[in-house]
Structure formats: C-alpha cells, structure tokens
Amino acid sequence: MRVMRNTAGGASAEGGSTGRSVEILDTTLRDGAQGEGIAFSIQDKIAVVRALDELGIPWIEAGNPGGSPKDAAFFSRAAEIPLEQARLCAFGPTRKPGLRPEKDPQVRRLLDSGAAALSVFGKSWDLQVTRVLRAGLEENLAMIGETVAYLKARAGLVFFDGEHFFDGWKANPAYALSTLETALKAGADRVILCDTNGGSFPGEIAAAVRAAADCLGPRGGRLGIHAHNDMGLAVANAIAAVEAGCGHVQGTLAGFGERCGNTCLAALLPSLELKLGLPCLPEGRLPRLAEITRRVAEVANLALPASAPYVGTSAFSHKGGTHSDGVLKLSRSFEHIDPALVGNGRRLLMSEAGGRSAVAERARKIDPSLTRDHPAVKALAEKLKTLEAEGWAFEGADASFELLVRRELAARGRGRREPLFKILAYRVMSEHPTGESIACSHAWVKVWVDGQDEIAAAEGDGPVHALDGALRRALLRFYPQLGHIRLTDYKVRVIDGGAATAAKVRVLIETSGGPHTWTTLGVSEDIIDASRAALVDSIEYKLMGDMEGPA
C-alpha cells in the first residue's frame, strides 16, 4: 500500500479510506501482566478494563482463569463491570496430551469464565511440540482441533493463537500451516499468528502472513498478529502483518509485557488510523489515547517513557532553535501529526538552544503582548544562556521558568514587584549518633511576609525534609493552602564531576497539589542551598498560581 501525506501533517492511504478496518485486542491484563515488576490486583484489573473500554478497544484479553486463581476471581466479577464498547476474552491452553477436553481442568475453567470470546493457544513450531511439550506432531494437531471444537460447541467466539508460528513457519512451514488449518476446520473464529520469541523481521512476518492467507484462502476468516518486541520491531511487524492481510492485531496499550514487551498499541493505533487510513477505534476516541495510556501505566505502577511515540511527554517537544521557530511558523514542518489528534500537546523546551521565538511563545502564556523582539524576551534569552552556563537547566522545570519570566516582567513594571515571602535566614543541622539511635535533622527558618517576620523550626528524616517542614510551618499562618501540597519527587544531579565533592549540584523538585504537579530547580555548590532555591520556587509557584492562575 502506498502512503501519501496529507495537508494536516498526518498521512492517509492513497484515495482515502481503504474500506478495511482493523480489530484490536488488548492483552495488558494477560501478556502485559507477565512483564517484570507488574502485579495487578483485581481492582487494578477492573480499572484497566474501564479505561480500555473508554478508549473503545473492542477486545480485552483479561487473563488466564485456569492458570491463576486471581484471574478466575476476576472473571467471576466481570459481569458487574458495565462496558460500552469492549468485550472480554479469556485465555488458556489446549487440552493436555492424553486428556479429553472435558476432562482437562484448565479447559473447563476457560469455558466457565463466561467470557465473550475464548482464546486458546497451541504449538505451531514442531520443535516446541517434540522438545518442550514432549508430544507427537499428530497428537498436537488433535489437541488443537478437539479443544477448539469442544469450546466452539459450548461458547461464543473462539480464537486460536498459533504459538511460535513464525519460528515454526521458518523451520517447518507445512506443519506450522497445518496447525492453523486444524483450528479453522474445528471452528476457530480468529486465527492468530504469534511471533512469541520476538525474533522475526518485518519481511519475514509479511511473507508468513501471505503464506497463511494463501493456505487458508476464503476459509481464513480474520487472520491476526501477536508480536513481541525483543528486537524493537513489534510495531513494525504488526504493521507489516496488517499490510500483508491481517485484520486483527493484539498488543498492550503501553507496550509492556514479558521480556521486552508486546506491540505498543499506543504507537500502533494512530499509525494505522492516521497514516494508513485503517479505522481501529470508534470515531472520536483517538484524542483520548495519551490520557488513557498514561492512566493504564499508572495503574501498572510503571512510568510511561517520556520518549514514547505519540503519547510521551517528549513526543512533541522541541528544544533546538530552528525546530522551535519552524514549528511555530508551520507545525507540520517539524511535527508529523497534530499532537491534539492523539490527546497530546506541544512543548517548547526552554534552553539556550531554543532561541527567542521559543522564549516568546512560552512568555506569551503569561503576557500575550510579548513578541520575540520585546526587550523582556531578549533579556530572558540572554539570561537563559548565562544561567545554563552556570548549570541551570529549565527544560525539565517549567514552573521555575515561569517564575523567571514573571520576575523579569515585574522588574520592568509589568507584574507584582513585591515578593510573596522572603527567607531572611535559615539553619540546618543533622545529628548522626552512634549505637541504636536514629539519625535526624533539624531546621530553623526566619521568613518575611508582607512586613511581618515569622520563625519556625521542624525535625525531619533528612536536612531537606526538615527544611521543607520548617519553611511551610513558618508560612502556613499567612498561606494555609500550603497545607495541601506535598513533595512527590526529588532528584540531585552533579553538574561538574571533575570538582568532586566541591562540584555544583542541580536539584529538581516535583510538587503536587490536588490534580496539578509542577517542577522547580535550584543550583549551588551546597546541596542544601540548591534544595532551598527549588523549595522556594515550588511554594512561590503555588501561591502565584492561586493569585493569578498558572500559565
């Protein structure tokens, strides 16, 4: 299929819609749960199901009821989950060698799950059959056929996953294809080709899909692809399979899963819809992609990589001056799609490389009248160069940059001149007693607020914790809203390692207040002083936002 770019900066298949659509199955709760460090509770699984349903995913593979008591318990509660778009799929193996399907407890639990579709996996690689399963090749075919037929006679839809199909096709194509034919003859509604080891190239995927389509012919129904990311090619392999004829794709929304993960649906869905003109989701759902992907990653307790295509915070970030200037003049000059199409947004990172256009664009959120030639913008651009030479880096600290802009404007009579508070003096002490006593830190702070002084002290688990506690305690009498914010992340970076323990450090602090989070920074040869600067900016940003609204 030849792809042509459209004027919106995306792409569509030549001639618009192809008339095809692609069916999506999300396996976050089954294959994704096999990823390292992921452990979903039943409530977590319900939260993920609801999120995927909001996005409009048609099929959710929610677990293996025969292999996990927790998954069995989840399916027993599944009927209580109101769903608008999605249907649930239960996953399990074919019968064991030598057992009838009705005698196999895992097959029985699969049937008892009550799921709208049952996904059965069987071996498509002769090596797996003889060396791992330790069964005969004909027995494996019987296991596939009998299990699919048994379930199909008693349930709704049955999907067959040809495990290790692509390795099997490369080693013994006739046998690999015979496993698909057996499942199809037994009544399988979908036949899924699995790159279980994630070791195939897109060209190999496409050739094998075409061979399967030729073998199954019109009886083939809907062929599917299930790819793993062991070579970083899962999304590319899924696209190659779709272009070769697959109409069903399996993956996990945020890409996590066993070993290196699965096909990342957050990268695949917009590529299919916006680039190839192949609908996957109900109309109007794609703009929710970034929000829901982040929500699913949060439930899994995993950080979504900033560089994640389409949905990461860096996906539409621009730092270089040429890029920032170009994207402001014509967005598609440096963005392949409009970020809003997937629910993301553009970020112009503040650095010496960004240039005055980027500074002006950010500063206009505070004062819309500013232009790149305004004296304040010119001064800010020069100040950025000076500060970055000293180790400051504002690209990861948007709140500190906003305060930098506000202070520059205030110095020019365009904003509040008087600070909301000042630290007049502070002292931090740490005790490290020997024996069983616990080390602790103490901080003392004297602040000025609107002509009044206030002194407070606090104890903490470390010097920064104590300083944070003392500063907030001193300010609470004037600003009670500070009782509702909390420090959520704290990072320290040595700027010049050659100076050893005398090196400057950069401290980044992330603060949360309700649904909002913001990041501030400080730089100093003294880690406590750098932390003090970041804490002051964090509190000032909160107070300024309460007064004027954050940019």
Residue 483 and residue 383 share a domain? no
Q: Which of 389, 419, 453 is the last residue of a domain?
A: 389
Residue 267 and residue 120 share a domain? yes
Residue 510 and residue 484 share a domain? yes
Q: Which of 251, 273, 299 is the last residue of a domain?
A: 299
| pLDDT reported for residue 214 | 95
Asked if residue 372 is part of any domain, the answer here is yes
Count of CB atoms within 10 A of residue 383's CB? 16
Residue 253 and residue 112 share a domain? yes
Asked if residue 400 is part of any domain, the answer here is no
Q: Which of 344, 343, 336 is nearest to 285 (CA)?
A: 343
CA dist 350 and 348 (Å) reads: 6
Q: Which of 499, 10, 459, 539 is nearest to 276 (CA)?
A: 10
| pLDDT reported for residue 6 | 33
Asked if residue 328 is part of any domain, the answer here is yes
3-state secondary structure of 167: helix
| pLDDT reported for residue 496 | 72
Residue 202 and residue 69 share a domain? yes
Residue 277 and residue 375 share a domain? no
Residue 158 and residue 96 share a domain? yes
Q: Which of 321, 319, 328, 323 is nearest to 348 (CA)?
A: 319
Asked if residue 463 is part of any domain, the answer here is yes
Asked if residue 10 is part of any domain, the answer here is no
Write out the residue range of the structural domain in which residue 135 sits: 21-299
DSSP string for residues in 434-467: STTPPPEEEEEEEEEETTEEEEEEEEESSHHHHH
Domain count, the chain: 3
Residue 238 and residue 190 share a domain? yes
Q: Is 75 exposed, middle or buried (0-12, 13-18, 19+ CB in 10 A)?
A: buried
Q: Note down pLDDT in tens along the chain; length 551 residues.
A: 333 333 233 334 333 556 789 999 999 999 999 999 999 999 999 999 999 999 999 999 999 999 999 999 999 999 899 999 999 999 999 999 999 999 999 999 999 999 999 999 999 999 999 999 999 999 999 999 999 999 999 998 999 999 999 999 999 999 999 999 999 999 999 999 999 999 999 999 999 999 999 999 887 678 999 999 999 999 999 999 999 999 999 999 999 999 999 999 999 999 999 999 999 999 999 999 999 999 999 899 888 898 999 999 889 887 766 766 676 677 788 889 999 999 998 877 655 555 677 788 778 888 888 888 899 888 988 888 888 888 888 877 888 988 998 888 888 888 776 789 999 999 999 887 666 666 689 999 999 999 999 999 999 888 999 999 999 999 999 999 999 888 888 889 888 766 666 688 999 999 988 668 899 999 999 999 999 999 999 999 999 888 776 55
Asked if residue 155 is part of any domain, the answer here is yes
Residue 288 and residue 146 share a domain? yes
| pLDDT reported for residue 149 | 98
CATH of the domain at 89: 3.20.20.70
Residue 467 and residue 374 share a domain? no
Q: Look at the alpha carbons of 118, 123, 129, 135 in this order and tell me if their dihedral is positive or negative.
A: positive
Count of CB atoms within 10 A of residue 345's CB? 11
Residue 96 and residue 207 share a domain? yes
CATH of the domain at 452: 3.30.160.270
Asked if residue 413 is part of any domain, the answer here is no
Asked if residue 225 is part of any domain, the answer here is yes
Spell 171-191 as b/e; 16+ CB within 10 A means b: ebeebbbbbbbbbbebbbbbb
| pLDDT reported for residue 8 | 34
| Residue given tokens 């790159």 in the structure block | 195
Residue 183 and residue 88 share a domain? yes
Q: Which of 359, 389, 419 is the last residue of a domain?
A: 389
- pTM equals 0.74
